[in-house]
Amino acid sequence: MLKAVIFDFDGLLCDSTPLHREANYQLLNFYKKVKLPSIGSREGMRINEIMQDYKDVYNLPGTIEEIYKIRQSFFYEIVKNKLEIFPDAYPLLEKIKQKNIKIALATSGDASYINLVFKKFPKFAKYFAVLVTGDEVERGKPYPDIYTKTIQLLDIKPQESVVLEDSINGIFSAHAAGIPVICVPNKHYSEADYSQADKIFSSLKEVTQALVF
């Protein structure tokens, strides 16, 4: 019996990928560095882990904590002005709520970011009975920590839930925690292989229409 649906946030419920990229560009401009064509896929990873890569690749001065703080200051301002929840997220969340199934949010984003989102979109925030952010766990995706913690807070078994994800690292993370995954691929990473997901849908609207819960 399905008791909970666990959502990722970035790329699944909002189109934040361009906003993250904009913040990264602003960070590099701050340090007067030129963006390299690619430093690999970091889809679904925590920002502090990505900043470790940026520090190494671009030889940024200062500590990871300092770099992270500067980067997030840019990002939070962008979020305030530009971030929007996907319109198709609301019908899906409402449908799950009406079935008396618990809804959780398990995101690689930090608590300050999600608190900012919840403040901006209070209607959206009310759907979630449980919230786990990336700074609450020791290891980020693709490790299972964030989904394991979410299951513990929901007080259910992994097989009594399903995860909705948009990233490969998120799929691996949920599966490592023993949870089946429905994937709505991130449109900014169309070349990625999402075949490890248990089910794949092209949009949140398609998930809602498929009556998968």
Task: Report the pLDDT value the prediction gives residue 49, as an integer from 0 to 100.
Answer: 87
**pLDDT above 60 (res 72):** yes
Top CATH class of 17-82 equals mainly alpha
Identical fold between 4-15+84-210 and 17-82 = no
Please state whether beta strands 102-107 and 199-200 pair in parallel, antiparallel, or not at all (unpaired). Answer: unpaired
Give this prediction's pTM: 0.90
The percentage of residues in the chain with a pLDDT greater than 70, rounded to a whole number, is 95
Q: What is the rounded CA–CA span in Å between residue 39 and residue 63?
A: 20
The rounded Cα 135 to chain-centroid distance in angstroms is 12
CA distance 40 to 3: 36
Residue-range domain boundaries for the chain: 4-15+84-210, 17-82
> What band does 43 get if pLDDT is binned at 50, 70 and 90?
low
Nearest to 169 by CA among 54, 10, 45, 48: 45
- Confidence bin at 45 (pLDDT 50/70/90): confident
The 3-state DSSP class for residue 42 equals: coil
The phi-psi region of residue 37 (left if phi > 0; otherwise alpha if psi is between -120 and 50; otherwise beta) is alpha
The answer, yes or no, to whether residue 84 has pLDDT greater than 70, is yes
DSSP 85: B
For range 193-207, the mean pLDDT: 95
Superfamily of domain 4-15+84-210: HAD superfamily/HAD-like (3.40.50.1000)
The per-residue pLDDT for 48 is 85
pLDDT reading at 40 higher than 80: no
